[in-house]
Each structure stands twice: as structure tokens, then as C-alpha cells.
Amino acid sequence: MPKIILVKDLVKEFSKRRAVNGISLEVEEGEIFGLIGPNGAGKTTTLRIIATIIKPTSGQVMVCGKDVAREASEVRRLISYLPEEAGAYQNLTGLEYLRFMASFYYGTEDEVKAALEEGIRISALGERLKEKSSAYSKGMKRRLQLARALMVKPKLAILDEPTSGLDVTHAFQLRRLIKEYAEKNRITVLLSSHNMLEVEKMCDRVAFINEGKVVESGHPDQLISKHGAETLEEAFMRVVGFA
Amino acid sequence: MPSGLRLLVIKEIKDLLRDPKILVGIIIFPALLLPLMGAAISVSTGSTIEKAYGNLSIYVVDDDGGPLSQRLLEYFNANYVEIRQLAGPPESSLGLLSGGDVLLHIPEGFSSNITGGNWSGVVMYINFKDFSMVEFIKSGRVDQILNSFDTELVRQIVSEEVPGKDPNSILNPIRQDYRSIVKGEAFRLSPAVLQTTVQMQTLMGPIVIMLVLILAMQIAATSIAIEKEAKTLETLLTVPVSRMSILFGKLAGSVTVALMATVANVFAFTYYIGAVLGSTGAATGDLGEAGLKLIPSPEGYLILGLSIFGALISALAIALTLGTLAQDVRGAQSIIGIVIVPVFLPAIFMMMGDLSALPQAMQILLYLIPFTYPALASQALITGNYGMSLIGLAYMAFFTLAMLYIAAKIFSSERIMTARISFKAKKAD
């Protein structure tokens, strides 16, 4: 399997604080890979580096063989990033927003239209897409953002807390949508979450991150049995020494 | 234009123009405010003068009944003032007076005292109800007619006492005459007449320009902060478009809206000046008679337009640069709250006095502020001294480029995401 993500000895420092302290991981094509860890563990910083928003202090990060620091513009053609609690432009309609974002990825109007149709289908917002996004509920905004991230069929979708702040029903629908869409289109997904159950159900492999380091990684079932736990949450707590 | 930049510019303009705060705040508000103020000045001045001068009548208690009191009343009649005679003590008739009404009491002995070579008093009772301009103008007009009658009497007495001499030469041996020099040419005008016209024209320009600049800065700075808060900037930084395109898209969008605001302002200002000049007809009439035309030239309006536009671009460049450093809308607003002080300064100095009369250090400071130049250009509309305004255009271009260079440096680095000027606690991970 070709490697979509290769992270080696990644370090990121902000002033006097080391947010990421030597993370290494690999993600293969078509995998759904989850980063699990408490607040401040370095998940979002790692995702932002892979998404080319910020640069590593040291170490190497490659996406489809491209260096995120040196070849950022090539990497941006291959990825799609969904920040935690991302919003859309308040004065644009959902449809205008999807068209605006799709237009950056495609050269012809036909390609943009095809992506837009995909976005309309994924979002399942129907006629509401003609309304300004300021009128959307939190769940609708998240569906719009997910549609935006997936409609361009990226090689790698980076999703930071994709179901953050959603109720059980919306979160369930969104998880199913991500899994089905990724499998169908062979999209590699790198996601972060606090929700262990979510990760256990969705991810092919996971990495436990604590204090800026990967402390364990593997298939959820393997990790559960390796640490004699009943759930992934329990396995994580044992690994970080709280259980 | 590269397609990414074009997309960003279109999005920016759409997003800005659909925001009611922007549409109303920087385009519709100034476009309506100045013409409305001009119309208000024109209408209220016109109607006040009409009301004060039309059909003026006064109450008179004539306790003298002599030839001079009769002559005084005829003099009032000849000046289109209707006389309503009353009897009894004047104090008992004060209840009849409405706002602005005048009661003139001519005492007994008025005629005999004056013809006997002594003075005599008259008493004017003026009822002030709401202290309006009409009330003051009415009493002023009665006063003026009384003074005029007094002068006529003096002339008569002087010509009787010194026959064969012009009484005016004896009464006013020194006569003042004025030559007001404007744009190097001398005009036979008193400074007082000139002041009335010029002050009304130059006062409002800097105030409105200042308001537009402050609004534009707030819009540009908060537009980046809003993108940071809503995480739309974080998303935009990961799509296949250069960071310079994002910065210039934002600038071009803001510039387009600022340009619309400038056009609205210049048109509004043109209308305002027209309305104000029309309402001060008496003064401008004197100006016209003296051969002085203070109607601004098309070049003057062009330089004013360019100066406002230049100042707007400078303001947007500052706001965008500072906006990149703010983490949220509150932070951006706080930064702009501090930065608007230099926007206020030139307008205040220009309204209160003369720039050249200030200490040299203060002058240099004001010339370093790009927002001084639109205020100078609005003054130059009247004075025709465009020299500093033209230098200002070049300076504003340099200032804007320097600011954009700093903004580009911040945008192309990760500081756009990691900069922290905020009043909220920093959010970890």
C-alpha cells in the first residue's frame, strides 16, 4: 500500500512551549486513521502542520511524497482540511459557498458543477442551501463543511473533531457519511477526536497521543486486547498510566 | 487576474456588500447625511429669514405723541413694519406678546427732549419664548430700524448746525475699506463676509472623511478577525490558492467598497457645498459683486476624491496589517480603537486652526499621518492651494506600499495563525 502520510520525528515549538514532541506515524492509502488524546496533547497542531497551515520546527512531514514545508502548494491540491467548529461566510448562501470552494480545485465549469452536485448530495441540505449560512443550525453548518471537504474528492481528508458539538443523531449520520464516502472514493482520512467510541467504530487504525508524543498505535481491536481492556477508552487510560 | 484572486475578490465584494453594517455604514450613511445636512441648512436658513422678515409687526405704547414719535412710527411703516398701538403702562400689555414679539415704549417728552438738544430713551420689550433664530432676527430688525432712524436724526441735526458740510464726513471722518487677497488676487471684501462663506464649506469635509475612515478601518480589521473566529481563514489557507492572493483579494474587495464610499462621499460633498452656498446667498452675493468665485474647480474635486481614496487605501492597509495580528473580532476592534486616534487628530486640528500656525514638531507629526491629506484637500477646494495635497498623494502611496509589505510578510508566515493580540484567554490545542 502506498503511504499517503509519513510523519517522522515531528517537533513543533511555540515560543517556550513544545506542542509536538517527536511524533512519528504513517498512514496508508484508503485508511481512516484516528488521533486520540486529551486537550493539549498536540493533535490539532499535528493536523495543522499536515494541512500546511503552520510549519514544523523540526522533523519531516510528507503527503503523497510531497514535503508539506517545501511543497505546500502541491500538497494543498491533494488535501482537504476541516477545522474544528469551522463556519462558512455569513453573507453567502450555502450553495455559493460550495461553488466558491470547489472553484479553487477545478479548471473547467463542468468539473466545478460536478463537484457542486456532489457537495449538494453530501450535505443533504436541499433547498436550505439557497439560504445564507448565517441562518443554519450547528448541525447544518457541520454538514455543509463536511460536504465542502469531501466534494473535491481529495487524496487526503484531514478532519479535526468532525462531530464536535453535534447531538447523537447528527454525529451518527456524519460518521456514517464519512466512512461510506471514504470507502467508496478511496479517500484517506486522518481525523482527531476526543470521542473514543467514535474512533473505535470508524477508524482502521489509531494513534494515542499524550504530551506531544505517540504513546501507542494500532488497530482499535488489537489495542483493546493488547492492553487487556474492554474499550478503547480503557486501553488509552492504561497506556497513559491513569488506570 | 489569476482565477484564484478573481474568485476571492468576487467573494469579498459579495460578502461585504451584503453586510448591512457596511452598505449602510460607509456608503448609504455618508451619501445621505451630507445632502440631508445641506438641505436642512438651506431650508431652515431660508424659512427662518422668510419668517423673520415677512410681515413684521410691533406693538407700540406712545406716551409722547409728539412730532418725532410720529415720524419714528412712519419710519417703521416705511420699512414694512406694521404698528399696533396700545395704551396704558407697557408692563400691563406684556401678556399680549408671543415669541419674538417686540413692544416699543416711547416715553413722554421724547420729541421735546431731542429737539431741545437732549437725549431721550426708548424701551424695547422682547418676548423670548424658545430662543429661536427667528426671535433674535425679529428683535435685531427692530433694533436696526431704530439705529437707522437715530442716524438720520443725527445727520439732520448736524446739517442744521453746520450748514454747507456733508454730515457723513463730519460723523465718520475715517472710512474702512478692505482688500482680501485670495489666490494672489485682491478682492474688495471684508474678512467677515469671506469667513461666513468659507467656514461653512470647510467645517464638514474633515468630519465626514474621518467617519468614513474609521468605519473602513473597522470593517477591514474585523473582516480578517471574523475569518479567524469562524475558522474560514484556517480553511482558506489549506486550499490551492496562494496566501498573497488571499491578502490581495481581501484588499481588492475592501478597496472596491471603499471606492464606492469615496464616490458617494464626493457626490454628497458636492451637493452639500451647493446647498450651503445657496443658503448663504447674502454673503456669496457680496462675493459675487466683488468678483470672487469660490466655487471649487473640477480639478479640486478630483484631487479631493483621490486624497479620500488614498487615505482609505492607507487606512485599509493599516487595518489589514493589524487585523492579521488580532485573534478575534474583539481584539481587532480594540486595536482599531487605539489606531483611530491619528484619524481624529488631523480633522480636529484642521477644524480648530491653521496647520502652519502649529509648532514645527506637531506639523511634522500631522504630515506623517496619511489622514491629514484629505482634510487638506477639502480646504484646498476653497483656497486652490493643491501643492501639499499632491505631495500627500505620493506620500500616501508610499505609506500604503510599506503597510502592505508588512501585511504580506505576516500573511506568508504562520504568524497569521499564531499571532495573539486578544482579550480572551488563549485556547490550547
Assign residue B110 the CATH number of its domain: 3.40.1710.10
A15 part of contact set with chain B, CB < 8 Å: no
B163, B178, B212 — which closes off a domain?
B163
- B204 has a pLDDT exceeding 70: no
B147, B163, B179 — which closes off a domain?
B163
- Owner of C-alpha cell 469562524: B230
Does B427 map to a domain?
Answer: no
CB contact under 8 A, B232 and A82: no
Residue A98 binned pLDDT confidence (cut-offs 50, 70, 90) = very high
Closest CA to B129 of B97, B161, B87: B97
Q: What is the DSSP letter of B63?
A: S
- Looking at the structure, do residues B150 and B258 belong to the same domain, yes or no? no
Rounded CA gap, B95 and A31, in Å? 98
For the segment A198-227, the average pLDDT, to the nearest whole number, is 92
Query: What are B392-401's contacts with CB under 8 Å, separation 24+?
Result: B392/B307, B392/B310, B393/B303, B393/B306, B393/B307, B393/B310, B395/B367, B395/B370, B396/B307, B396/B310, B396/B311, B396/B313, B396/B314, B396/B370, B397/B310, B399/B314, B399/B317, B399/B370, B400/B310, B400/B313, B400/B314, B400/B317, B400/B370
- Looking at the structure, do residues B293 and B213 belong to the same domain, yes or no? yes
Does A119 map to a domain?
Answer: no
- A16 has a pLDDT exceeding 50: yes
Rounded CA gap, B307 and B391, in Å? 10
Closest CA to A210 of A46, A52, A59, A93: A46
Q: Do B304 and B378 touch, CB atoms closer than 8 A? A: yes
Q: Do B214 and B206 touch, CB atoms closer than 8 A? A: no
Residues of chain B with pLDDT > 70: what percent? 85
pLDDT at B426: 44
pLDDT at A128: 95
- Produce one character per residue of B367-402: b if its CB has 16 or more CB atoms within 10 Å, e if not: bebbbbbbbbbbbbbbeeebebbeebbebbeebbee
Q: Do B8 and B250 touch, CB atoms closer than 8 A? A: yes
Q: How many CB atoms within 10 Å of residue A95?
A: 20
For the segment B173-185, the average pLDDT, to the nearest whole number, is 81
- Looking at the structure, do residues B78 and B226 belong to the same domain, yes or no? no
Beta strands in B149-190 (DSSP E): 180-182, 185-187
A49 part of contact set with chain B, CB < 8 Å: no
pLDDT at A85: 80
Axis crossing angle, helix B387-412 with helix B372-383, rounded to the nearest 10: 160
Total of domains in chain A: 1
Tell me the chain A residues in contact with residue B428 when contact means C-beta distances shorter than 8 Å.
39-40
B279/A218: higher pLDDT:
A218
pLDDT at B279: 56
- Looking at the structure, do residues B19 and B138 belong to the same domain, yes or no? no
- B422 has a pLDDT exceeding 60: no
Q: For the ranges A116-125, A139-148, A234-243, B138-147, which has the lowest average pLDDT?
A: A234-243
Closest CA to A75 of A151, A156, A178, A153: A156
Rounded CA gap, B211 and B19, in Å? 18
pLDDT at B199: 66
Does A105 map to a domain?
Answer: no
CB contacts < 8 A, A to B, total 89
pLDDT at B429: 46
CB contact under 8 A, A83 and B4: no
CB contact under 8 A, A76 and B238: yes
* Residue B65 burial class via C-beta count within 10 angstroms: exposed 0-12, middle 13-18, buried 19 and up: exposed
**Quick one: how far is CA B311 from the chain centroid?**
19
Does A106 map to a domain?
Answer: no
Tell me the chain A residues in contact with residue B235 when contact means C-beta distances shorter than 8 Å.
81-83, 86, 101, 145, 148
B146, B163, B180 — which closes off a domain?
B163
- Looking at the structure, do residues B202 and B267 belong to the same domain, yes or no? yes
Which DSSP string corresponds to B335-380? HHHHHTHHHHHHHHHHHHS-GGGS-HHHHHHHHHSTTHHHHHHHHH
Query: Which residues are CB-contacts of A26 (< 8 A; sequence separation ≥ 6)?
Result: A3, A5, A6, A7
Q: How many CB atoms within 10 Å of residue B342?
A: 18
* Whole-number average pLDDT of chain A: 91
- Owner of C-alpha cell 463543511: A145
- Summarize pLDDT for B338-389 with one digit per residue, the tens: 888 887 777 777 666 677 778 888 888 889 988 888 888 877 777 777 888 8
pLDDT at B293: 63
Top-ranked range on mean pLDDT: pick from A112-116, A167-171, B77-81, B189-193: A112-116
Does B424 map to a domain?
Answer: no
Does B172 map to a domain?
Answer: no
Shortest alpha-carbon distance between residue A97 and chain B (Å): 9
Q: For the ranges A72-81, A89-98, B240-249, which has the lowest average pLDDT?
A: B240-249
- Looking at the structure, do residues B26 and B71 belong to the same domain, yes or no? no
Does A132 map to a domain?
Answer: no
Q: Could you tell me the pTM of the whole model?
A: 0.71
A51 part of contact set with chain B, CB < 8 Å: yes
Substitution target in B237, B238, B245, B327 with the highest count of A β-carbons within 10 Å is B238
- Looking at the structure, do residues B200 and B302 belong to the same domain, yes or no? yes
Rounded CA gap, A207 and A185, in Å? 24
| Structural domain of A70 | 3-86+154-239
Does B395 map to a domain?
Answer: yes
Residues of chain A with pLDDT > 90: what percent? 70
| Structural domain of B67 | 54-163
- Looking at the structure, do residues B104 and B225 belong to the same domain, yes or no? no
Total of domains in chain B: 2
Through-space distance between the first and last CA atoms of chain B, rounded to whole angstroms: 38
pLDDT at B52: 64
* Whole-number average pLDDT of chain B: 81
Residues of chain A with pLDDT > 70: what percent? 99
- Looking at the structure, do residues B278 and B142 belong to the same domain, yes or no? no
Residue A222 binned pLDDT confidence (cut-offs 50, 70, 90) = very high
For the segment B296-304, the average pLDDT, to the nearest whole number, is 81
Does A42 map to a domain?
Answer: yes
Substitution target in B235, B242, B327 with the highest count of A β-carbons within 10 Å is B235
Domain at A8, CATH number: 3.40.50.300
- The continuous run of DSSP H or E covering B331 comes out as helix B329-339
CB contact under 8 A, A104 and B231: no
Tell me the chain B residues in contact with residue A101 when contact means C-beta distances shorter than 8 Å.
235, 239
pLDDT at B150: 93
Rounded CA gap, B183 and B386, in Å? 11
Residue A206 binned pLDDT confidence (cut-offs 50, 70, 90) = very high
- Looking at the structure, do residues B29 and B87 belong to the same domain, yes or no? no
User: Under an 8 Å CB criterion, which residues of B touch A?
Assistant: 3-4, 7, 11, 14-16, 18-19, 226, 229-232, 234-235, 237-242, 414, 417-418, 428-429
- Looking at the structure, do residues B119 and B251 belong to the same domain, yes or no? no
Instruction: Report helix, strand or coil for B423.
Output: coil
Query: Which residues are CB-contacts of A160 (< 8 A; sequence separation ≥ 6)?
Result: A43, A44, A47, A81, A82, A83, A84, A191, A192
Does B183 map to a domain?
Answer: no
Q: For the ranges A65-74, B50-59, B227-236, B248-257, which has the lowest average pLDDT?
A: B50-59
The nearest alpha carbon in chain A to B236 belongs to A101
Residue B420 binned pLDDT confidence (cut-offs 50, 70, 90) = low
Q: Do B70 and B99 touch, CB atoms closer than 8 A? A: no
- Looking at the structure, do residues B102 and B122 belong to the same domain, yes or no? yes
- CB-nearest to A83 from B14, B234, B414 is B234
- Summarize pLDDT for A152-199 with one digit per residue, the tens: 999 999 999 988 878 888 888 889 989 999 999 999 999 998 888 888
Rounded CA gap, B387 and B99, in Å? 51
